[in-house]
Structure formats: C-alpha cells, structure tokens
Chain A
Amino acid sequence: MKSDSSMPVSKGKVVTAVFLKDVQIELRSRVVTNQVLPFAGLVMVMFAFALDNDDVLQRVAGGLVWLATLFSLLIIVQRSFAIDTADGALDSLRVAGIELSAVFFGKAIALAAKLVALEMVLIFSALVLYRVDVSAIGVVLLVTCVFCATSGLAFVGTLYGGLTAGAKGRETLLPLLLLPVVAPVLIAATRATEAAFGSGGAQTSEGWAWIGLLAVFAAVFGVGGSLAFGSLIDE
C-alpha cells in the first residue's frame, strides 16, 4: 500500500458529500419527518387554542407560520449537529483537512431541504386550520418567500449551530444567539406571507419589497457564514 496523501478533492465534491450524508441520515432516521413536522403541526393547533378567534387567526396566520418555523428550526439545527458530535465525527471532519466552508454549505443546503419540508407542512396547516386563501400570484410570492427565507435561516442556523454544538452548556446558547439574528427574517417573511394570503387587506405587490430584504439577508449570511464557520467550530 503506497503511502502518499490522497489527491485534493474539489470544494463542490465536499459540499455534495456532506449534503448527501446529512440527507441520507435524515431519510434513514426520519427524525424530522416523524418528530419535528408533527411538532410543528401541533404548535399550529396550539396557537388556535391560545388565540381562540377565527378572524384573528386568519389575520395573523402568516406570522404564526414563521413563528412555528423558528421554534422548529432550533430543534432541526441541534439535530443537524448532534449527528456529527455523537461519535466524534466533527473532530474527524476537522482532521480531514478539508475546506470547512464547504462543510458549511453542504450542511446548510441539507438544513434548507428539511426546512422547506417543514414550511410546506406549516403553510398547509395555515390554509386548512386558519382558513386562509392564496391567489395564483400569491403562490408565486409565497414560493419565492419560502426560497429566500429558507436560505437565510439555513445559513444562520448552520453557523450558530456549529458554534453551539457539542460541549456541555452550549446547546442552550443556541436560542439566545439565533433568535435575535433571525428577527429580520421573521419580520420580512411574515409580511410577505401576509401579502400572499391577503391578510388584513395586504396586496400581493407589497410583498416583493420584503423578498428583497430576505435575499440580502441570505446573501450576507451565506458569505459571512462560510468565512466564519471554520473559526467557530474549531477548538
């Protein structure tokens, strides 16, 4: 057996490998599908118990969808890193000498895929439970909103998830760090979703400005995250 270092692997291949690994593990273990999605649906039902007013629910449906998303995001992010820290795989990833920014993107894209599934369930719950309607153009707005907001949430989630992964007393830091940072996403995504639902007389056209904000957020944290990730997960 020759002893030489293996050929360097392109960043794209690393991103793909990490993404496929995370997705494979989710498909195998079904934690998001069997635990988080039902949890999210349950949260939507509990909002109805707490708010107890059909008109109010219809009016705030957009906000409730994204609130439930954020709470579920905390769980999904922690799960995303638990699979790496359970048996010291994160250490092995660091020793592998690969570009950690590629690991960042691979994990973020896998996280985004799980988030999209989650948001589909939540929007569907809103349509059914809170009796909102979406017009055709509203659907376009909604899809764009989901895409842009999810990118931002996935980047930020992976970044701060990496920081708080592993050692004792760290996981509880995740909500404190993450929720303030995603406030712009909550505000913008909610307003865009309300525009799509037509809640409170909002016009679909008003939603597009918010999409711009979501896109900027995603771009900033996509770039910033890939630069910062390596420093944050290293010892």
Chain B
Amino acid sequence: MIVSFSDVVVVYDNFPALAGATFEISRGEIVLLQGPNGAGKTTLLRTCAGLLPIVRGSANVLSCDLTSDRFSVRKKVGLLGHANGLFHDLTVEENMSFWSRLIGTSDQDVKTAMQIMGLSDRLCTTRVANLSAGQKRRCALATLIVRRAQLWLLDEPHAGLDTHGRDELDKTLRAAREAGATVMFASHEIDRARNLATRSLMVAGGLVTES
C-alpha cells in the first residue's frame, strides 16, 4: 500500500475539510480524484504531501505514519498545487536550476524535463512573469518532473494547458508509472482523466468513495 487512509479528519479553522476519509492506493496506480468544488480534493492531496496535520484517524503514505511524523514523507512526494511555486523575476531556466540544486538532480535531467514540457530555447530564458498562464503551468510541471517522486500529487494539472501540453502531461504520467511511481490527481476533465487513470475515487463532503 502506497497510501492508506483510515477515517482521516483534517480541519481548517474548525471546518472539517476531510471528514473521515478512508481509502487505499497501491503502487503503480494512476488514481483520479473526482468531485464537486469544495469536496476536499485539494486538502486530500496536501495531506498526502504531509503539509496538513491530521486531527483524527490515521494515515500512512510511503511507509510514513502521518499522524506522528508528517515531515519525512515530504521528500518522497511531488506536489503540484493550484499555485505554481515559481519565482516570477527569474527565468524558466533559473527557476529550474534553483529547484534542481535544492534536490540534487543533474543538468541532464533538468534539460530533459524542460524538453518534455516544451520549454524551448526561447522560453527557457524568458522571465516567468512574462509567460502565459499555460506556460507557467508547464514550468511548474517541469519542476515536478525533476523531483522523480515516488508519489505524484497533482491538483488539476491539465487546467490551463493546450492540447499538446495535455498530451505531453499524460505521456509523462504514464512514463512515471512505468518507472514505478504512483500518481494521484484531481481533475474536472472527466473524459481525458478517465482515459489516463487506472482507477477513480469520488470525493464529496470530505469523504472518499470508489467511483
């Protein structure tokens, strides 16, 4: 079991964003999280990344018990949230090399990631502030790719990308799966997502059910 949640409650300001989530995910799955806005998908992803404290229940991600220690799981996962996590005054290249210097990847990996995400020579020396929303998203995805995480957590990754970008993303996620990673992603793009995912979970009212 890569991810195992049992009756997990996560709270924002006394509001239970997750109200007793229970589910399991095995290695190599690509799991789609579906559900209406405000269902708790983002909270679920952030909890798996070890960012949010668990108030009730228990959760285990990549052999880390999140209730006692949610810090050691962080370096094993890669999270792409709503924000891109980029520095707007730096170029794409500079952003990539900052993140890769932090986690110790090679220049070759950085180049490969940028190529996969279609961040060509011209774009790579452009300041992030001058990129379009979709291009920023690709850059964010590239920083995720170099992490080579065991568990990929993506919050609406297709949003803002053009068709080509979406195809590249799907290819990347499948390749990650081939290499032994597990993927969890939230999406409103039901058709494309269903095609990509091996399994689908329904998130509603802070609870998780099979779909």
Query: What's the minimum C-beta distance from A117 to chain B, rounded to whole angstroms?
Result: 18
Closest partner residue, chain B, to A89 (CB atom):
B85
Q: Are A1 and B51 within 8 A (Cβ)?
A: no
Contacts A17-B98, A24-B94, A28-B90; A87 near B85 (Cβ below 8 A): yes
Residue of A2, A5, A91 touching B81 (CB-CB under 8 A): A91
Q: Are A25 and B87 within 8 A (Cβ)?
A: yes
| Tally of chain A residues near chain B (CB < 8 A) | 34
Q: Are B101 and A13 within 8 A (Cβ)?
A: yes
| Interface members, chain A 1-45 (any B CB < 8 Å) | 1-9, 13-14, 16-18, 20-21, 24-25, 28-29
Closest partner residue, chain B, to A30 (CB atom):
B89
- Mark interface residues in A92-110 (1 if CB within 8 Å of B CB, else 0): 1111111000000000000
Residue of A4, A6, A89 touching B87 (CB-CB under 8 A): A89
Q: Are B176 and A24 within 8 A (Cβ)?
A: no
Residue of A21, A28, A91, A96 touching B103 (CB-CB under 8 A): A96
Give Cα distance in the complex from A92 to B98, angstroms.
12
Specify which chain A residues have a CB less than 8 angstroms from the CB of B72 in the assembled complex: 97
Interface size range of chain B in the complex: 35 or more
Closest partner residue, chain A, to B143 (CB atom):
A92
Specify which chain A residues have a CB less than 8 angstroms from the CB of B126 in the assembled complex: none
Kindly state whether residue A83 has any CB partner on chain B within 8 Å: yes
Specify which chain B residues have a CB less than 8 angstroms from the CB of A5 in the assembled complex: 75-76, 148-150
Q: Are A17 and B101 within 8 A (Cβ)?
A: yes
| Interface members, chain B 66-113 (any A CB < 8 Å) | 71-72, 74-79, 81-90, 94, 98-99, 101-105, 112
Q: Are A96 and B87 within 8 A (Cβ)?
A: no
Cross-chain pair count, CB within 8 angstroms: 108
Kindly state whether residue B138 has any CB partner on chain A within 8 Å: no
Give Cα distance in the complex from A143 to B130, angstroms.
41
Specify which chain B residues have a CB less than 8 angstroms from the CB of A88 in the assembled complex: 81-85
Specify which chain B residues have a CB less than 8 angstroms from the CB of A16 in the assembled complex: 101
Give Cα distance in the complex from A96 to B80, angstroms.
12
Specify which chain A residues have a CB less than 8 angstroms from the CB of B87 in the assembled complex: 21, 25, 83, 87, 89
Kindly state whether residue A136 has any CB partner on chain B within 8 Å: no
Closest partner residue, chain B, to A84 (CB atom):
B87
Kindly state whether residue A86 has any CB partner on chain B within 8 Å: yes
Kindly state whether residue B179 has any CB partner on chain A within 8 Å: yes
Specify which chain A residues have a CB less than 8 angstroms from the CB of B102 in the assembled complex: 9, 14, 17-18, 93, 96, 98
28 interchain pairs (CB within 8 A)?
A1-B112, A1-B145, A1-B179, A2-B148, A3-B149, A3-B180, A4-B148, A5-B149, A6-B103, A6-B105, A8-B104, A9-B103, A9-B104, A13-B101, A16-B101, A17-B98, A17-B101, A83-B87, A83-B88, A87-B84, A91-B79, A91-B81, A92-B143, A95-B49, A95-B79, A96-B102, A96-B103, A235-B53
Question: Which 4 pairs show the lowest CB-CB distances between chains A and B?
Answer: A97-B75, A88-B83, A92-B85, A97-B74
